[in-house]
């Protein structure tokens, strides 16, 4: 089947089976490799993209279901104001270790802040708990979200950046 | 900058560089006349290898310095940290440094990520590389000006002549420096730490901005022209063989290029992480291959291995605990006599499960076999072991195997095995195509080299003062034909050996047909839980403060004679003063003395562990939710890894991350076996820690006057017993089996 989808503001055309997950369309057809494969069944959040601004797990989103929804990936999220702020905070706090989950984390964090620019700790937890970080960067993810939101963060490190 | 790179960043442009051998590059670089290469011999005796400094440093006329990162990057920041050491001593500005990932090449000596060894192995050698470069640039400047070298100084990429005020940039001096003889690396002078401008500064990961742009940096992202995608199905019972498979049907599915059986090469396939028998499917798209895999109908032999089950292991451990041990690991004094004189005797049994590593990036590898040989792009911790396995298994000359070390989405010890490399290599050779092999999550969890489970049957006696005087551990672990499985050992010198006069470690083995292997802090990630929890039991039984009991047991500051050199390096001696230092620091930072005045239902627990030359004490403050799940309020860590933290950004990250890794193990992680198969298959049945369970972690570094050592592992073990000890303080209930079962902590629970 041929599908025409809107990705990062550009219309792209792909030829694939209807059941192909958006994840593999992005990665193997369109060579947008930033969206990652972690679990394949929406348990880890590594493949998080935005569909019309809402976080979605690309690994369980068949291409046939995307329709006219605007898809935004890590490659395009820096074009939005919140996406840019989140990425800046991520770098300023050196959040990542291996980095494999971080595209999904950034997509989830950007969706959160776009909807709720001053999230509480509990709201951060519920928005982010779908995204596993195997390296355990959670304290910094939380701090980076607050920094992007202009909220105070508690930094106990004795040597500061 | 020179137009070519030593080690092409194989994945960044989606087109791996090929065929640029080192010699070809050197010729190209010099001929191009742009980048000048400092050529001297690197002969660090500690590493017993040599590599020209040119292999590490390239200085372009515009002053941009390219530094090669020799080790694999698995998320611990070594691609940033090791070049920082060179840049510091070369004395250039970090903003003018570009980093390239090395390929596997003997020229670099050891290239692996493991054992928290990158720092202790490279701390001095990398600085010497930089210092040698600086000295050559100084010499070149002195020759140019015809002045004594003592009048010249180097700083931030510029050499200046103090008396005259003349200056020359490194870029301008590089070609002259390249023609100079090399200084003896042993003779170069290193900076005084007070002059550091790079070491000790927060330095962001060099690839981090690119990760956030979604650039294809990881193994799973490797792309080649005419690349095919492969999946590989193995027997769920370890070491099983293919009896029959519906290949004809699979081959007719859309997009499938090939489907075939790969015969396993290892006689002991069940426990060796070599080429394991299976069925390969190669397609134009990974999704097509994966869909076909789900349609495989394979008859395996054996279909089941009933003895290999968690329940059978537990029964066998209980039986062995009642029997004479298979072997004696250590015997000091007379434990039975000492127990007879003890004021109190305690017995307790501890158990912990098998664990899968569950790197978030599933195992994968890309390989291309052609007339030039085998080229491999692997997210690996140990590329040399992988190349060796491929060479042996496929009968390819090792010189015809090239390995690109690709950024790995986590490793934790998993990628020190090379099974994914040999699978990709075999499939590429069989099909004659460039192939990217990718496992799905269930395969990743069900075909690991697991952290072995274990059982400890402790018996100890304390005297009237609460001090342990007798200690016995009957350790029931796993092995095969009398040999202990990988990472299933109890070192005879493990604490409290040597600190309690009558002590016995004895051991019995359960036969295991499941592969095991190193997982972040092998041994320590399991032993700390058992030993440091039981020590807490002894403290409470004797009415002692767990902190005071530890200080008492380790005794006054003293240094034990170091073991003989290993890994080609001098092993730092064990120093009880450093133990005391971190125990006292964590007590102070956590407010340990307030533990007796916490609200009801809250508790603080303490643990210490020495591993990988690092001294780490941790305190956990915890309570229990109404459903019995532990609630961790905060974790404090005091860490002594020597006088210098090279990159605080990555040091805090490693400490915090390994502590949360341990917390996830304590709360959730367990692999169980039924009929020889792993039961768990994804993050629903094998949950990992999530953000709402991650407490604040406060890390403090104690800068003792010792050479820096590694931090990938030593902060992990103490958190498991510290948490269980905190839960005991909070509830009076002792956790002796991991992961923690919330049913035991519910208020109604007995």
A2-76: CATH topology is Ubiquitin-like (UB roll) (3.10.20)
Q: CB distance from A125 to chain B under 8 Å? A: yes
State yes or no: pLDDT of B517 exceeds 50.
yes
Identify the pLDDT of residue B52. Answer: 59
Six token digits for residue B296: 């495989």
Cβ distance A135 to B699 less than 8 Å, yes or no, reads no
Spatial distance between the Cα atoms of A77 and B518, rounded to a whole number of angstroms? 38
pLDDT above 60 (res B183):
yes
The verdict on a CB contact (< 8 Å) between B202 and A94 is: yes
Could you tell me which chain B residue has the CA closest to the CA of A49? B214
Task: Give, as one character, the DSSP assignment of residue B222.
Answer: -
Confirm or reject CATH 3.30.450.20 for domain B310-355+450-486+494-506+519-739, answering yes or no: no
pLDDT tens digit sequence for B314-326: 999 999 999 999 9
Does B672 contact chain A (CB < 8 Å)? no
Q: How confident is the model at residue B48 (pLDDT cuts 50, 70, 90)?
A: very low
Burial zone of A70 (CB within 10 Å; 0-12 exposed, 13-18 middle, 19+ buried): middle
Q: What region, left, alpha or beta, does residue B116 occupy, with left being phi > 0 and alpha being psi -120 to 50 degrees?
A: left
Domain B225-303+361-441 identical in fold to domain B310-355+450-486+494-506+519-739: yes
Tell me, what's the pLDDT at B86? 97
Segments of B117-255 assigned E as strands: 152-155, 158-161, 166-169, 227-234, 241-245
Taking a contact as any Cβ pair under 8 Å apart, which residues of chain B between 178 and 217 contact chain A?
A: 200, 202, 204-205, 207-209, 211-217
pLDDT at B567: 76
Q: Please check whether residue B77 touches A, CB under 8 A.
A: yes
Cβ contact B217–A99 (<8 Å):
yes
Q: What is the pLDDT of residues B105-134, one digit of tens each?
A: 988 889 999 999 999 999 999 999 999 999
Q: Where are the domains of chain B?
A: 22-201, 225-303+361-441, 310-355+450-486+494-506+519-739
Overall fold of domain B22-201: Aldehyde Oxidoreductase; domain 4 (3.30.365)
User: So what's the pLDDT on residue B266?
Assistant: 62
Q: Please state the rounded mean pLDDT for residues B730-737.
A: 98
Q: What is the pLDDT of residue B128?
A: 93
Confidence of residue B272 (pLDDT cuts 50, 70, 90): low
pLDDT of res. B324: 98
- Mean pLDDT on B47-70: 78
Chain B closest-CA separation from residue A135 CA (Å): 5
Which candidate from A43, A134, A137 shows the least CB-CB separation from B682? Answer: A43
Residues of A in contact with B200 (CB under 8 A): 159
A134 to B359: CB separation less than 8 angstroms, yes or no: yes
* B214/A74 Cβ within 8 A: yes
Residues of A in contact with B684 (CB under 8 A): 41, 43
Supply the pLDDT for residue B605: 98
Secondary structure, 3-state, B662-704:
HHHHHHCCCECEECCEECCCCCCCCCCCCHHHCCCEEEEECCC
Task: Tell if the CB–CB gap between A28 and B287 is shorter than 8 Å.
Answer: yes
Q: What local confidence, expressed as pLDDT, does residue B181 receive?
A: 77
Per-residue pLDDT at B265: 77
- A-B interface: how many C-beta pairs under 8 angstroms? 197
Quick check: A44 and B360 CB within 8 A? yes
CB contact under 8 A, B407 and A98: yes
Across B592-618, average pLDDT: 97
Asked if B408 lies within 8 A of A98 by C-beta distance, the reply is yes
Please report, rounded to a whole number, the percentage of residues in chain B having pLDDT higher than 90: 86
Question: How many whole angstroms separate alpha carbon B407 and alpha carbon A33?
Answer: 14
Q: Which residues of chain B lie closer than 8 angstroms to A36, CB-CB?
A: 218, 220, 360-361, 409
> What residues 342-371 of chain B have any CB closer than 8 A to a CB of chain A?
358-362
DSSP B355: B
Q: Read off the pLDDT of each residue in B681-697 and give the average, rounded to a whole number.
A: 98
User: What pLDDT does residue B13 have?
Assistant: 30
Provide the pLDDT confidence category of residue B274 given band limits of 50, 70 and 90: confident
What's the topology of domain A78-149? DNA polymerase; domain 1 (1.10.150)
For chain B, the first-to-last Cα distance in angstroms comes to 71
Per domain, the residue ranges of chain A are: 2-76, 78-149
Residue B567 φ/ψ region, left for φ over 0, alpha for ψ in the -120 to 50 degree band, beta for the rest: left
Residue B34 pLDDT > 60: no
CB contact under 8 A, B652 and A157: yes
Cβ neighbours of residue B309 closer than 8 Å, sequence gap 6 or more: B672, B673, B674, B675, B676
Tokens of B210: 């690119």
Which has the minimum average pLDDT: B32-41, B57-66, B120-129, B262-271? Answer: B32-41
The whole-number average pLDDT for the span B85-90 is 98
- Nearest in space to B442 (alpha carbons), one of B683, B199, B710: B683
Looking at the partner chain, which of A28, A132, A158 has a beta carbon nearest the beta carbon of B360? A132
Say which CATH topology domain B225-303+361-441 has. Aldehyde Oxidoreductase; domain 4 (3.30.365)
Q: Is it the case that residue B332 has pLDDT exceeding 50?
A: yes
User: Where does the pLDDT of residue B3 fall: very low under 50, low under 70, confident under 90, or very high at 90 and above?
Assistant: very low
Q: Which of A75, A92, A98 to mutate to test the interface with B (most CBs of B within 10 A)?
A: A98
A contacts of B285 (beta carbons < 8 Å) = 16, 24, 28-29
Nearest by CB to A129, which of B659, B661, B690?
Answer: B690
DSSP string, B109-147: ------TT-HHHHHHHHHHHHHHHHHHHHHHHHHHHHT-
CB contact under 8 A, B683 and A132: yes
pLDDT value of residue B37: 40
Closest residue in B to A142 (Cα–Cα): B691
Mean pLDDT of chain B: 91
pLDDT band at residue B270 under the 50/70/90 scheme? low
Give the start-end residues of each E strand in A8-156. Answer: 10-15, 48-51, 54-57, 70-72
Split at pLDDT 50, 70, 90, the class of B267 is low
Average pLDDT of every residue of chain A: 96
pLDDT in the model for residue B667: 98
pLDDT tens string A5-60? 999 999 999 999 999 999 999 999 999 999 999 999 999 999 999 999 999 999 99
How much is the pLDDT for B273? 74
pLDDT digits (tens, 9 = 90+) for B201-235: 999 999 999 999 999 999 999 999 999 999 999 99
Q: Which helix (H) or strand (E) holds B476?
A: strand B468-480
B146-176: buried (b, 16+ CB within 10 Å) or exposed (e) per residue?
Answer: ebeeeebebeebbbebeeeeeebbbbbbbbb
CB distance A156–B209 less than 8 Å? no
Q: Which residue, among A18, A99, A126, A159, would best test binding to B if mutated, counting the most B CBs under 10 Å from its CB?
A: A99
Lowest average pLDDT, out of A71-85, B178-192, B413-427, goes to B178-192
Q: Which residues of chain B lie closer than 8 angstroms to A24, CB-CB?
A: 285-287
> Is there a contact between A78 and B213 if contact means CB atoms under 8 Å apart?
yes
Which residue of A136, A145, A154, A158 to mutate against B (max B Cβ within 10 Å)? A136
Q: Which residues contact B487 (CB under 8 A, 6 or more apart)?
A: B451, B452, B516, B517, B518, B519, B522, B523
**pLDDT of B303:** 94
Q: How confident is the model at residue B329 (pLDDT cuts 50, 70, 90)?
A: very high
pLDDT at B222: 98
Q: Do B211 and A103 touch (CB under 8 A)?
A: yes
Residue B48 buriedness (CB in 10 A; 0-12 / 13-18 / 19+): exposed
pLDDT digits (tens, 9 = 90+) for B478-507: 999 899 999 999 999 999 999 999 999 999
The tokens for A72 are 């935004």
C-alpha dihedral, B51 to B57 to B59 to B64, nearest 10°: 170
Tokens representing B390 are 């491929």
Mean of pLDDT values over B709-729: 98
Model ipTM? 0.98
What pTM was computed for the model? 0.93
């Amino acid at each position: 089947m041929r599908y025409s989808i809107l990705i990062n503001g550009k219309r792209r055309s792909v030829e694939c089976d209807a059941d192909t997950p958006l994840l593999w369309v992005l990665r193997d057809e369109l060579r947008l490799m930033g969206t990652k494969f972690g679990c394949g069944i929406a348990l880890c959040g590594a493949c998080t993209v935005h569909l019309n601004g809402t976080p979605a797990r690309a690994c369980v989103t068949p291409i046939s279901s995307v329709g006219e929804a605007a898809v935004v990936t890590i490659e395009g999220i820096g074009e939005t104001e919140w996406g840019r702020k989140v990425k800046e905070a991520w770098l300023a706090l050196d959040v990542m270790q291996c980095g494999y989950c971080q595209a999904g984390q950034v997509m989830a964090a950007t969706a959160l802040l776009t909807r709720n620019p001053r999230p509480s700790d509990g709201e951060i937890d519920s928005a982010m708990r779908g995204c596993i970080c195997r390296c355990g960067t959670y304290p910094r993810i939380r701090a980076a979200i607050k920094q992007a939101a202009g909220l105070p963060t508690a930094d106990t490190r004795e040597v500061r950046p | 900058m020179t137009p070519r790179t030593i080690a092409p960043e194989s994945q960044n442009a989606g087109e791996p560089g090929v065929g640029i051998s080192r010699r070809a590059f050197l010729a190209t670089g010099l001929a191009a006349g742009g980048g000048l290469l400092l050529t001297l011999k690197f002969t660090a005796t500690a590493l017993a290898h040599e590599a020209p400094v040119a292999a590490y440093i390239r200085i372009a006329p515009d002053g941009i310095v390219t530094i090669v990162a020799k080790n694999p990057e698995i998320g611990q920041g070594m691609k940033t940290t090791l070049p920082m050491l060179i840049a510091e001593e070369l004395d250039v500005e970090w903003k003018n440094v570009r980093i390239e990932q090395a390929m596997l090449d003997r020229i670099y000596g050891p290239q692996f990520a493991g054992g928290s060894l990158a720092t202790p192995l490279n701390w001095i050698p990398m600085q010497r590389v930089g210092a040698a470069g600086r000295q050559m640039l100084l010499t070149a400047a002195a020759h140019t000006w015809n002045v004594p070298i003592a009048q010249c100084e180097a700083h931030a990429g510029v050499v200046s002549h103090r008396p005259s005020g003349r200056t020359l940039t490194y870029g301008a001096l590089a070609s002259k420096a390249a023609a100079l003889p090399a200084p003896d690396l042993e003779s170069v002078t290193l900076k005084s730490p007070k002059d550091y401008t790079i070491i000790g500064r927060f330095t962001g990961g060099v690839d981090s901005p690119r990760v956030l742009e979604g650039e294809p940096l990881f193994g799973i992202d490797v792309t080649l022209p005419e690349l095919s995608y492969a999946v590989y199905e193995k027997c769920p019972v370890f070491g099983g063989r293919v009896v029959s498979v519906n290949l004809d049907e699979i081959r007719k599915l859309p997009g499938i290029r090939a489907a075939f059986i790969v015969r396993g090469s290892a006689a002991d396939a069940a426990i060796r992480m070599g080429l394991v028998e299976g069925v390969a499917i190669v397609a134009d798209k990974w999704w097509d291959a994966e869909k076909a895999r789900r349609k495989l109908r394979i008859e395996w032999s054996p279909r089941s291995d009933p003895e290999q089950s968690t329940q059978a292991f537990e029964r066998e451990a209980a039986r062995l605990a009642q029997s004479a041990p298979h072997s004696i690991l250590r015997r000091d004094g007379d434990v039975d006599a000492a127990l007879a004189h003890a004021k109190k005797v305690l017995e307790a049994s501890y158990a912990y499960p098998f664990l899968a590593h569950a790197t978030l990036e599933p195992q994968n590898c890309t390989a291309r076999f052609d007339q030039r040989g085998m080229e491999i792009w692997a997210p690996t911790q140990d590329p040399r072991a992988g190349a060796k396995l491929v060479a042996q298994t496929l009968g390819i000359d090792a010189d015809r195997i090239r390995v690109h070390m690709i950024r790995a989405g986590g490793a934790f010890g998993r990628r020190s095995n090379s099974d994914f490399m040999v699978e990709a290599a075999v499939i590429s050779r069989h099909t004659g195509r460039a192939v990217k092999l990718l496992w799905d999550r269930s395969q990743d969890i069900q075909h690991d080299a697991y952290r072995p489970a274990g059982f400890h049957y402790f018996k100890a006696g304390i005297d009237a003062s609460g001090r342990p005087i007798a200690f016995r551990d009957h350790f029931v672990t796993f092995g095969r034909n009398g040999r202990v499985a990988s990472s299933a050992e109890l070192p005879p010198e493990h604490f409290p050996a040597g600190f309690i006069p009558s002590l016995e470690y004895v051991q019995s083995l359960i036969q295991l047909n499941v592969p095991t292997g190193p997982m972040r802090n092998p041994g320590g990630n399991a032993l700390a839980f058992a030993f440091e929890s039981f020590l807490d039991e002894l403290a409470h039984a004797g009415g002692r403060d767990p902190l005071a009991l530890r200080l008492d047991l380790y005794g006054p500051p003293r240094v034990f004679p170091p073991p003989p050199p290993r890994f080609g390096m001098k092993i730092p001696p064990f120093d009880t003063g450093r133990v005391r230092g971190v125990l006292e620091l964590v007590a102070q930072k956590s407010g340990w003395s307030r533990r007796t005045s916490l609200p009801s239902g809250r508790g603080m627990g303490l643990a210490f562990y020495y591993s990988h030359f690092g001294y780490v004490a941790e305190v956990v403050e915890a309570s229990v939710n109404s459903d019995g799940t532990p609630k961790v309020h905060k974790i404090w860590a005091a860490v002594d890894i020597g006088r210098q933290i090279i990159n605080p950004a990555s040091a805090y990250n490693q400490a915090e991350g390994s502590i949360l890794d341990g917390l996830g193990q304590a709360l959730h992680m367990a692999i169980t076996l039924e009929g020889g198969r792993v039961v768990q298959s994804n993050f629903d049945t094998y949950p990992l820690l999530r953000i709402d369970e991650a407490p604040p972690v406060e890390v403090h570094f104690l800068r003792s006057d010792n050479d820096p050592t590694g931090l990938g592992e030593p902060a992990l073990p103490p958190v498991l017993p510290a948490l269980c000890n905190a839960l005991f303080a909070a509830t009076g209930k002792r956790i002796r089996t991991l992961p923690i079962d919330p049913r035991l902590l519910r208020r109604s629970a007995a």
